[in-house]
Structure 1
Amino acid sequence: MDRSKADDRTGGIVGILALAGIVAAVTQTLVVPLIGDLPRLLGTSASNASWVVTATLLAAAVTTPVAGRLGDMYGKRRMLLVSTLPLIAGSVLCALSSSVVPMIAGRALQGMGMGVVPLGISLLRDVVPAERLGSSIAVMSASMGVGGALGLPFSAAIAENANWRVLFWVVAALSVLIGALIRFLVPGDRPAAAAARFDLPGAVGLGTALVCLLLGVSKGGDWGWTDGTTLGLLAAAVVVLLAWGRWELRTAEPLVDLRVTARPQILMTNAASILVGFAMYAQSLVVPQLLQLPEETGYGLGHSMLAMGLWMAPAGLMMMVVSPLGAKLSAARGPRTTLVVGSLIIAAGYGVSLPLLGSTAGLLVVTLVCSTGIGFAYGAMPALIMGAVPPSETASANSFNTLMRSIGSSVSAAVIGVVLAQMTTDFAGFALPSEEGFRTAMLIGCAVGVLAAVAAFLIPVRAASAPDAASGDEGTPLPTVRADNPA
């Protein structure tokens, strides 16, 4: 009976944290069905309206590493609760907005709440029994895919059948619910060292570099890749990153411990994460367009926004279905193997897309295969990170890994955007991405998936000298999950 109650309690904790991840992911895709109507709804230009999307990306990138570090210092559960506050405030502000400036501010606040996912994953290490940790991490990681998949049909259905403000009121209510559930049902984690000091210069430096980098990458297609603003931002990102790295190496309590990050297991996991983030995002840029382009193009399938969202939804649910399988593979062969397998499955999904681009069912197969690989990979990466850092750095290391995936997604958007913008065809006087452009984009996704598998394979395997080995590389205490279990 006691064991059953413990299992029920663990399941409840994981469910609450997974719900938080789902809501965060829904928030990211919330405005996609509204993009075309935002200039009219907010009385602004299309260029200004695009900042409604960009603001969330930038705010999430800047604040996620900060939230992770603060979670290690003051408690992950406490920072989870804090992270729900901007989600609530941003959602309410967006719901009340009638012009573009408050909408952008609200979306930026929503972006500040995106740290709930790495914080939730890190909290699992402290509040979930060791035998349930692997499967719990996999479920929590899959929540991002579920939320992203459910967000599109949810947003499209409300946008087509109700007032668009309802979208933000629903997210605000869900965020309040999540905050209450965490407050009353999720236990606290171990306290951090009292002497810890927050690295404010490091946070400002990293935030500045990320804004310059991601702004240059995300807006380069609009401004022009040879435009002075684009080149200036990218150059500034390099200069600030170098200065930031020098500061982090010299300060006693850095925001990101670069010496730990440079350890081979963490370094190669982060490299693979960038590539997985790229590969994950590429198909999400291609498939929705193919589903919605007019049938008269010869390769478009002519679906509505709502129908497109419904066809994309099973892919996100597939991540949740396969996450226990990935956890079992990690338990048997180690998370490195799971990451390699997941990356290869992603590459295979892109590979099989080439003969299937002309049918809705074929694209469904492509998204299901790719999401299977993403589910495997997303569950393995946090396990690899936590297998190489001490408990006192779990949240900051996971947050940094999440940032690496976000950078990969941003680069993917830029690269695939350039490909589709350059390879076009004329349709009724409008330039649309050509079928060859879509095929090229899928081939790029396939190649990056293979590269991710290679990077994952190069993650060093640490063999335990005994089942109860107490330390890892350079004296780091080993957590429950190792890079690979000895066969």
Structure 2
Amino acid sequence: MPRTRERQRTGVLVLSLSVVALTVALLQTAVVPVLGVMAEQLDVSAVAVSWAVTANLLAAAAATPLIGRLADLYNKKHVLLGVLVVVLAGSLLAAVTSSLPLLILARVLQGASFALYPICVAILRAELQPRQVVRALAVLSGMLGFGGGVGLVVTGLLMSGSAGYHRVFWLTTAFTVLVMALVVWVVPTRAGDGDGGIDWVGALGLAVGLTAVLLAITQGSTWGWRTPATWGCLASGLLVLAGWWRWERRRTHPLVSIAMLTRPAMLLTNVATVFVGMGLYFGFLGLTLFVQMPREVTGYGFSATVLQSSVVFLLPGALTGFVTATSSGWIIDRYGPRPVLMTGALTGVAGFVMLALAHSATWQVIVAGALTNAYISLAYGALPALVVSEAGPGETGIATGINAIARTVGSSIAAAVVAVLLGHVSARTGLPSEATFVVIFFAGAGTAALATLLIALTRTRTKRTESVAAQVDSRAMQHEWG
């Protein structure tokens, strides 16, 4: 009986933290389909309203590493609730305001949600037996990838007819309240396990450097890629990050352990994560916009409304992602994170290539979308297992925080690439050509292939083996938990 109760407690904790992780994806993707509606209802330009996305990404890049470090040092439940309070304030503000500056401020506050994921990872590592952690992380992370599709589908359902964009933020408000209740009820209270204090100079340097680089990436298509503003922002950000790197190397208790960050397995995994983040946006943005193209005008697409694109084209992929996410723990436990990630990435290659070459029939797009969703869910499930295996117990929050930033950087790069490609429109229709979407989908296939290659190199170049404890834990998981 005690063993049964322990399994139930573990299952409830993992399920609850998976719901917390869904908050990140929901807040990130739910806004994208309604940017045009927001611009119309606020009576502003599309460029101006794009800051609702840009500001969110910049805030995430600035805050996530610091909050991850706080979760390593202090009571993780309290840090998690503090972040949720900030997110709730942002959702409420966005739900009631009709001012663009206040909406952007609300999205800055919601940017703190990106830190929820690394805190959840740190909680799982602190609360579960070692043999349970890998499977739990896979489920948690897979749900994060699945949540991206859910955000798009739910938004499509909410925005049927002439609905206002505010209802999207009322949804995020209600969801955040639910998540807070789960955290209060389920997550145990435990002191932090990290050493040292907070490197405030390092936190500021990392925030400034990442913000400047991401600002150049996200606004380059608006400012112009050859303008002094873009290059100045990029160069200054890289310069600050170089100075931050030197500072961190000399610190006894740095914000981020450079030794940890430069381990070949950790470094290549984070670079692979950038490519996975790019694939997420190439898939979601490319597919969503493609099916909405008016076929009678362009000769391609499906003339789908927001509701139709969500229910007909995105929902099957989201359901595939859900099934993959919930089973990814068992799969990774059985075969290991590297083979699963490489298999998932190859599945993504197949899905993106199918989107590029066979997209004239509805079933073709649905099948290809299901393959790409399976890839994202498997990748999001396997990557954290690789990251956590390289991090010490007191480094889990910051290590997974940096990994989350790698996804953010990848998504930002992909969004910028898509914006540039879609900016080239046909003189006859005023819309992008079919070849533009083919390039986007092939770019998704390329990023998935590069992720596969990097993970393969991680195994062959490092010759780093798991600890004896990790090997025992991996074998034990075949007989424990579920």
Q: Partner residue of 1:433? A: 432
The equivalent residue for 2:223 is 223
Relative to structure 1, the CA distance from residue 316 to residue 481 in structure 2 (aligned partners, 3 Å threshold; closer, same or farther) is farther
Give the Cα–Cα distance (whole angstroms) in 2 for the partners of residues 158 and 284 of structure 1. 18
Q: Which residue of 1 aligns with 2:332?
A: 330
Which residue type is aligned with residue 453 of structure 1? T
Higher RCO (C-alpha 8 Å, min separation 6): 2
**Aligned residue identity for 1:168:** F
AA partner of residue 79 (structure 1): V
Q: Distance in 1 between matches of 2:246 and 2:270?
A: 20
Give matches, 1:128-143, under 5 Å: 128-143=128-143
Task: Provide the residue aligned with 1:214 in structure 2.
Answer: 214
C-alpha change, 1:479 and 1:121, in structure 2 (3 Å) is farther
1:412-427 to structure 2, matched below 5 A, reads: 412-422=414-424, 424-427=425-428
In the other structure, the counterpart of 2:386 is 384
Name the Cα RMSD after superposition: 2.1
Which amino acid letter does the alignment assign opposite residue 178 of structure 2? L
Asked if structure 1 preserves the Cα contact closer than 8 Å seen for 2:348 and 2:374, the reply is: yes
CA distance in 2, matches of 1:339, 1:154: 28
Q: 2:372 aligns with which of 370, 373, 379?
A: 370
The alpha-carbon deviation at position 462 of structure 1 amounts to: 3.4
2:232 is aligned with 1:271: no
Q: Report which stretch shifted further, 333-342 or 97-106.
A: 333-342
Write the letter of the residue equivalent to 1:201: V
Inter-partner Cα distance in structure 2 for 1:481 and 1:239: 42
CA shift in 2, pair 1:150/1:330, >3 Å:
closer
- 1:449 counterpart residue number: 448
Structure 1 segments unaligned to the other structure (5+ residues): 472-477
Distance of 1:449 and 1:455 partners within structure 2: 10
Cα deviation for residue 427 of structure 1 reads 4.2
Per-residue CA shift, 1:219-272, capped at 9, x if unaligned?
111111001111111111111111111111112211111111101111111111
Tell me how far apart the structure 2 counterparts of residues 350 and 153 of structure 1 sit (CA, whole Å): 20
Which amino acid in 2 is paired with 1:380?
A
Structure 1 residue 262 corresponds to structure 2 residue 262: yes
Call closer, same or farther: CA 1:279–1:157 in 2, change over 3 Å.
closer
Q: Could you say what secondary structure the match of 2:40 adopts?
A: helix
Aligned match of 2:108: 108
**More helix by percentage:** 2
Query: Which is worse superposed, 272-281 or 151-160?
Result: 151-160
Per the TM alignment, residue 326 of structure 1 is displaced from its structure 2 partner at its CA by 3.3
Aligned to 1:411: 413
C-alpha change, 1:225 and 1:456, in structure 2 (3 Å) is same
Instruction: Give the C-alpha shift of residue 3 in structure 1.
Output: 2.2
> Residue 179 in 1 paired to residue 180 in 2?
yes
Map residues 244-393 of structure 1 onto 2, 5 A cutoff: 244-296=244-296, 297-310=298-311, 311-393=313-395
Q: CA deviation at 1:191?
A: 2.7
Distance 2:33 2:409 in 1: 23
SS of 2:172's partner is helix
8 A Cα contact 1:386 1:479, kept in partner:
no
Output the TM-score relative to the length of structure 2: 0.92
> What displacement does 1:392 show?
0.5
Moved more, 438-447 or 236-245: 438-447
Identity between Structure 1 and Structure 2 (%):
34
Shift of 1:78: 2.2
Query: 2:468 — aligned with what?
Result: 469
Q: 1:91 to 1:331 in 2, by over 3 A?
A: same
| 1:309-332 CA-partner distances (Å, limit 9, x unpaired) | 222123233222123543334323
Give the unaligned 5+ runs of structure 2: none
The Cα shift of 1:163 comes to 4.2
2:169 pairs with 1:168 = yes
Q: Does 1:203 align with 2:203?
A: yes
Which amino acid in structure 1 is aligned with residue 193 of structure 2? Answer: A
Say which SS state the counterpart of residue 125 (structure 1) adopts. helix
What amino acid is aligned across from residue 307 of structure 2 in structure 1?
Answer: L
- Alpha-carbon distance change, 250 to 2 in structure 1, aligned in 2, over 3 angstroms: same
> Partner letter of residue 184 of structure 1?
W
Per-residue deviation, residues 75-125 of structure 1 (Å, max 9, x unmatched): 332221111011100011111212111111011101112211121122111
CA 1:271 to 1:413, structure 2 compared with 1: closer, same or farther past 3 Å?
Answer: same
**Residues 1:9 and 1:160: Cα distance change in structure 2 (over 3 Å):** same
Q: More displaced, 209-218 or 136-145? A: 136-145
TM-score by length of structure 1 reads 0.91
* Paired positions, count: 470
Q: 1:480 to 1:383 in 2, by over 3 A?
A: farther
Note the C-alpha offset of 1:336: 1.6
Aligned-partner Cα distance in 2 for 1:363–1:292: 12
* Deviates most, 138-147 or 127-136: 127-136
Q: Secondary structure at the match of 2:98?
A: coil
**1:58/1:211 contact within 8 Å kept:** yes
